[in-house]
Structure 1
Amino acid sequence: MERFTPVTDDVLLLKVPFAVVWTGVVLVLDDDGPILVDSGGSAETVDSTIVPALRALGLELSDIRCVLATHIHGDHVGGIARMRELAPSISVGVLRESRQRMRDPHRYSREIRARFPEHSPEPPAVLDGVEPDLLLDDGDLVGPLRVIHTPGHDVDACCFFDTRSGTLITGDSLQLNGTLSQGCALLFDPARYLTSLHRLLDLPVQNIVCGHPYLPLGELAIGEREARKFLATCIGCYEHDRGLVAGMASAGVTDPLAVARALVAQVGGAEPEKMFLPMHTVAAYQEAAEKEQS
């Protein structure tokens, strides 16, 4: 059975199965009631993984004060509706601009695939949404967690900063070179990603907890030195990817599929069967470059 493992005394990580990798669900212990960050990808994983892992700590889902979403991608919010069904007292918190996506995450999942339909898998059969209770703004506090809006991976990506231990819970906001299933970093908003990374470098971050194991550094950075190294490496990965896309454009190669394949090979990733995620990254870099030149 998967269990919550401590990152600090009050921050614990659960690795919930998802495709060829896992998605992180983070438990934050607080005197006013425990908080979950993200929910895994489905109702099934709530029942099979999250509920048993909570019970191993002597907790029930009904003990959870609220569940907060780092962003509205299915592998991070697919279990929220099930949590609400099992424990109606749980509050759901999302960034204010995520409200519509949280109401209908399945619609957004379809939109992501619609741009490159021939290179996209079918959307999940079920991805239920809920009406969020807490609409969060940058800088808000939920218990000990400060909301940090960090666009880049997507426009509504955010981190939660534990003000007690300096632990940064990032979901997918820090991409490095992506996961095994992605092939490379996934950025829908690269124009703001670098700003987000520098903003995080200005925080007194002591530890980092990511939502997946990212290449090449994994999912954790423990201690200030390792945390800063992690953030600096993210900047290096960003500059490499941006430069590769720009260089190929200068050479006359702009087809998103061709550039995406070159990018995945350059970062040492495994080329996914469906290339829509690397193609989104490439297209976003190309569009950002066009805006800079206009």
Structure 2
Amino acid sequence: MLYTGRYHIEVIPGVHWVRSVVGCNCWLVVEPGNSIVIDTGLPGNARRIVNYAKQLGVSAISHIILTHADIDHAGSASELKSLTGAKIAVHTIEAHYMTTRTELPFPFCWVSRLIPRLSRFARFTPDILLDESDSVGGLRVVHTPGHTPGSICLLKKGESIFTGDALRTHARDKLLTPSRPTAMDMPRAMDSMKKIAALDFTSLFGGHGPPVISKASAKLRDIVANLPCCQV
């Protein structure tokens, strides 16, 4: 990692891990003239993201890309858009969770009953609806359903991939299979894992847990190859 502080980590050149964000991993992708936020955490994180960007000298955020609609990933999207003017991009299938639906996506439909504050999800209308192979700021959309129907990954070919909750990571550069308790459709989640393993990337940035910095696609292929009935 290039620079580490209490809340400031540039994991690889141009990719920052906004550690002050609560709920999920928030990634800030900084390139000349084009800065993108991937996932925003629970409600209440927008100013933390803006402050992080300001400390880097980032003058504008062009897009907020949400890997899926769970409140721990999309909860601060509306406020962050209000503060920055950035366009919010989501997969077409996922958009209705953010606009007209009153019930939160699984598993937060039951979590919100236990923790009422999780039900206070500021709804919004996405600016950009994404489909397979669309591009936003040099990142290609890969539709990876399973955790939710419209979950996506964002690929910079040969370099990095942002996977949301399609995969899990663990300490010491370790990758894990999708989480069965939180997957809406586990067979599809496993198919999506195989789809990701067939792609070409070095670093992997998940929705929870530390990033995998090197040889990430090779490590994922090794996992898939050792699963019953799974071949890339």
Note whether the superposition's TM-score is higher than 0.5: yes
How much is the aligned-residue C-alpha RMSD, in angstroms?
A: 2.9
2:104 corresponds to which of 102, 109, 115: 109
1:221 paired residue among 201, 206, 212: 212
Work out whether 1:132 is the aligned partner of 2:145.
no
Instruction: Tell me how far apart the structure 2 counterparts of residues 171 and 146 of structure 1 sit (CA, whole Å).
Output: 14
Q: Is this contact kept in 2: 1:11–1:26, CA < 8 A?
A: yes
- CA–CA distance in 2 between the matches of 1:184 and 1:211? 15
Taking the aligned partners of 2:169 and 2:224, their CA distance within structure 1 comes to 5
Change (3 A) 1:234 1:221: farther
For residues 235-288 of structure 1, what are the alpha-carbon distances to aligned partners after superposition, in whole Å with 9 as ceiling and x for unaligned? Answer: 86x86xxxxxxxxxxxxxxxxxxxxxxxxxxxxxxxxxxxxxxxxxxxxxxxxx
Q: Alpha-carbon deviation of 1:83?
A: 1.1
SS of 2:118 mapped into structure 1? coil
Aligned to 1:212: 208
CA distance in 1, matches of 2:180, 2:187: 17
1:195 lines up with 2:196 in the alignment: no
Residue identity matched to 2:135? L
Higher helix share: 1
Report the counterpart of residue 24 of structure 1 in structure 2: 25
Q: Which has the larger radius of gyration?
A: 1
Percent of aligned pairs with the same amino acid: 23
Q: Pairwise mapping of residues 92-171 of structure 1 onto structure 2 (< 5 A)? A: 92-104=88-100, 107-109=102-104, 112=107, 120-122=114-116, 124-163=118-157, 166-171=159-164
Alignment correspondent of 1:282: none
Instruction: Give the deviation of 1:113 after TM superposition.
Output: 5.3
Equivalent residue pairs, number: 216
Give the 3-state SS of the residue equivalent to 1:24 in structure 2: coil
Gaps of 5+ in 1: 178-182, 214-218, 240-294
Out of 8, 15, 18, which is 1:11 matched to? Answer: 15
| Contact 2:8/2:17, CA 8 A, preserved across alignment | yes
TM-score between the two structures when normalised by the length of structure 1: 0.65
Deviation, 1:230, is: 4.2
SS in structure 2 at match of 1:221: coil
Contact kept? 2:200, 2:217, Cα under 8 Å:
no
CA distance in 1 between partners of 2:49 and 2:111 (Å): 33
TM value normalised by structure 2: 0.81
Which protein is richer in strand relative to its size?
Answer: 2
1:212–1:13 Cα change, 3 Å: same
Aligned-pair CA distance for 1:114: 5.3
